[in-house]
Structure 1
Amino acid sequence: ETFFRESRKGQRGLGAEARKRGGRSRRKKKPSENASEKSGTIRKIPVMVACDRQQHVTDAVLEHVSNDELFTQLAGRILPGSTLCTDAHLSHEKLADQLNVTLKELVTTAGQYVREEVYHIQTVNAYHSELKRWINGFFKGVATKYLSRYLGWKRFLKTHIFSEESFLDQEASHWLNPHLL
């Protein structure tokens, strides 16, 4: 899993006036009546990403990181008998049993990055980094309600190999044949 800050980018009527240049940021203001701001924390939106070395990717925006949600998103997408490499999280052991896969947990906080000289999570961590750089860098963040659409877009770009010409041909065919949409 990776996490994105909750964003209501572009939403009108949030009940607060826009900050002028030189004004104080929201993080430094006194807490308002919003529960997440009262505690001084900003809500983080969990995003589950699973990928393999052959560039197959599945992802989803989660409500909470729980075994039930992870199972719902991964059931039928990971073949029984596969090996699932994860970071250490309590829900992963039960998930591995439900999916009938072999679990290889890595405790990165303890310096464990590779198990048995072949199992690691660097592939998914690289995807997390690339995804965050794309969303936060290129788009300067996206609204949380549209996050799943951007995940799908990124997944398409990552998993489909196409040349510039074939991409332009695909786009042109959609514009010429609107019934294909």
Structure 2
Amino acid sequence: MQSVTVVSEGLECFGGQGYIEDTDLPRLLRDTQVTPIWEGTTNILSLDVLRAIRKSPLKSVASSDQQGFASVAGAAPKVLLNFRQDVLSRIAPAREKRSLQKEASKLGTAMDAVLSRWTGLDKSQQDMAARELAFSLARIYMDGVTVTLTCCVQEQTLKSSCQQLKISTWS
């Protein structure tokens, strides 16, 4: 129910405008409140994530990968490895920027920690940690998107500054 609190606070930030139907914000609040009824609680949704992970075949993992992050030795579900690879490929441009290297490195480390912890759990422990796993994966993905967007914004700002400089020199 964290989403209900976040959306409610978001509406409050807009004041009276947040409740006007033309803004689509009231729809977000309604949808947020009924989604657990339609889809199930986060625990139920987490068990769906767990079921999908368990259906995924195991794949052996090398001790490191081509992107330089340490990896989990042994075997891990292929879907988690694909997820990891997707996140790492998204943040690859950020690893080249000095201002974002620390954040990109933390994401790689966090993903490896999730994989390492996951492969060390037995089935009953996985059941109990399903919600934590789903939330961890969601946070890692959101952080990866944020780092990627930050990288893009920095590039756009730089391009815009260069354009401004070119325009001012010819004026």
TM-score tier, shorter chain, comes to: under 0.3
Q: Kindly indicate which of the two structures has a greater share of residues assigned to helix.
A: 2
Q: Larger relative contact order (C-alpha < 8 A, sep ≥ 6)?
A: 1
The structure carrying a bigger strand percent of its residues is 1
